[in-house]
Amino acid sequence: MTLTDTEISSTGMRLNLGPQHPSTHGVLRLLVELDGEVIHSCRPMIGYLHRGLEKMFEARPYRQTIPFTDRLDYLASLNCNLAISQAIERLGGVEVPERAQYIRVLLCELNRIASHLVFLGTFASDLGATTVFLYSFREREKVIDLLEAMTGARLTYNYIRPGGVPEDLPEGFAEGVRAFLDEFPRALDENDRLLTGNGIFRARLEGVGVISPEMAIAHGASGPVIRGSGVPYDIRRIAPYEVYDRMEFHVPAFAEGDCLARYRVRIEEMRQSARIITQCLREMPEGEIMTKMPKIFKPPVGEAYSRTESPRGELSVMMVSDGTPNPARVHVRAPSFVHLSLLPALLPGTKIADVVAILGSFDTVLGEVDR
């Protein structure tokens, strides 16, 4: 007796990728239904890192919310500090001195380089090239040392406050940054030779996880995800904040929409960040670094929305004030959360090994997804 297709019935295999998994970049759980190696459906399940940050913000005065924002996107914590500080400043109508704005941009771009280096290392390591992880972290160590000299911390900086920054640049900081930027292009070129040109790397990433521009826009993608699909959408150009409107830099965008394009966007962004940092150091004026804020800060009733371009995409903070010293409501629009909504549309039809590549190319951080 021969068995035809209609007589063999088989169900797909349900597999849990995560929450404990080396490649999901945090505690993300992907419930996938597999047919052999091919994925039929995928359901991302989040909440494993939920700490109730938005509720905690409502119970504290405005200044005390800043350290918690470090823990949102912990790889780009200065950017989160900036987003919420900007919202507070807009609520209270506070002007930030020019030197402080330059310092903020400088710090955020350094943080962008550090975050993208983590992306580089973890992405390559997910694909099997573990050596690149060590090389990128070797470079990142220099950035972290610089940020430690400035802020005192190595990951959760808590250094951008409503009104400016708490302390000025330490002695030798500018020289240290310039020394780092002198060597940095060489490291990126070396990485290109090792990884970007590698045949296996390209075979793994070319044509994998293609997101069309329409799909990206429809799902609300931002940052390298949408720029990897050819849409040159960058908050620093569209709605410039701080002194980004005075900075000369190129917004990289590649039209293919696959994982390789998103990877190349981030590598190119690192080069552009180096350009911005050089300009900041050159053009930074002397002056105040912090506007005097009242001891008890009670902004008028109203709401404010602040948009920033974090290394992951558009990180925005919505803040509502009711006249009391504590905010009435704070909502953080996290780019990784929005990007995860792309997964159920993107993953069916791909293989398990591709899931790892796609997740890595999104560069999600579960801290900001779950808050």
- Indicate the residue among 154 and 246 with the shorter CB distance to another protein: 154
Closest C-alpha among 250, 298, 241, 309 to residue 274: 250
Which of 12, 31, 33, 176 forms a contact with another protein (CB under 8 A)?
176
Residue 365: exposure state from Cβ atoms within 10 A (0-12, 13-18, ≥19): buried
Output the CA–CA distances (angstroms, integers) from residue 344 to 42, 209, 355, in the order listed.
5, 12, 11
Instruction: Build a one-symbol-per-residue string for 53-72: x at contacts with another protein by CB under 8 A, - elsewhere.
Output: ------xxxxxxxxxx-x--
The two tokens of residue 366 are 């579960």
Closest C-alpha among 9, 66, 73, 14 to residue 40: 14
Q: How far apart are the first and last CA of the chain?
A: 58
Residue 321 DSSP code: E
Which of 115, 158, 279, 308 forms a contact with another protein (CB under 8 A)?
158
Closest C-alpha among 303, 328, 331, 329 to residue 317: 331
Q: Classify strands 29-35 and 329-333 as parallel, antiparallel or unpaired.
A: unpaired
251 scored as a contact of another protein (CB under 8 A) = no
Distance CA 262, CA 189 (A): 18
Q: Of 197-226, which residues contact another protein (CB under 8 A)? A: 197-204, 206
The two tokens of residue 295 are 């001891």
Which of 35, 95, 167, 245 forms a contact with another protein (CB under 8 A)?
167
Instruction: In angstroms, give the least distance from the CB of 62 to another protein.
Output: 7
Asked if 204 and 126 count as a contact pair (C-beta separation under 8 A), the reply is no
Q: Of 115-144, which residues contact another protein (CB under 8 A)? A: 124-131, 134-135, 138, 141
Asked if 100 and 116 count as a contact pair (C-beta separation under 8 A), the reply is no
- Indicate the residue among 117 and 247 with the shorter CB distance to another protein: 117
- Indicate the residue among 288 and 303 with the shorter CB distance to another protein: 288
301 scored as a contact of another protein (CB under 8 A) = no
153 scored as a contact of another protein (CB under 8 A) = yes
Residue 62 DSSP code: G
- Indicate the residue among 29 and 351 with the shorter CB distance to another protein: 351
Phi-psi region of 21 (alpha: psi -120 to 50; beta: other; left: phi over 0): beta
Longest dimension (CA), the chain: 89
15 scored as a contact of another protein (CB under 8 A) = yes
Instruction: In angstroms, give the least distance from the CB of 44 to another protein.
Output: 17
Distance CA 119, CA 104 (A): 22
Distance CA 225, CA 211 (A): 8
Instruction: In angstroms, give the least distance from the CB of 130 to another protein.
Output: 7
37 scored as a contact of another protein (CB under 8 A) = yes
- Indicate the residue among 278 and 291 with the shorter CB distance to another protein: 291
285 scored as a contact of another protein (CB under 8 A) = no
Q: Of 352-371, which residues contact another protein (CB under 8 A)? A: 352-354, 356
Instruction: In angstroms, give the least distance from the CB of 220 to another protein.
Output: 28
| Total chain residues near another protein (CB under 8 A) | 83
Instruction: Build a one-symbol-per-residue string for 76-115: x at contacts with another protein by CB under 8 A, - elsewhere.
Output: ----------------------------------------
278 scored as a contact of another protein (CB under 8 A) = no
248 scored as a contact of another protein (CB under 8 A) = no
Q: Of 319-358, which residues contact another protein (CB under 8 A)? A: 325-326, 351-354, 356
282 scored as a contact of another protein (CB under 8 A) = no
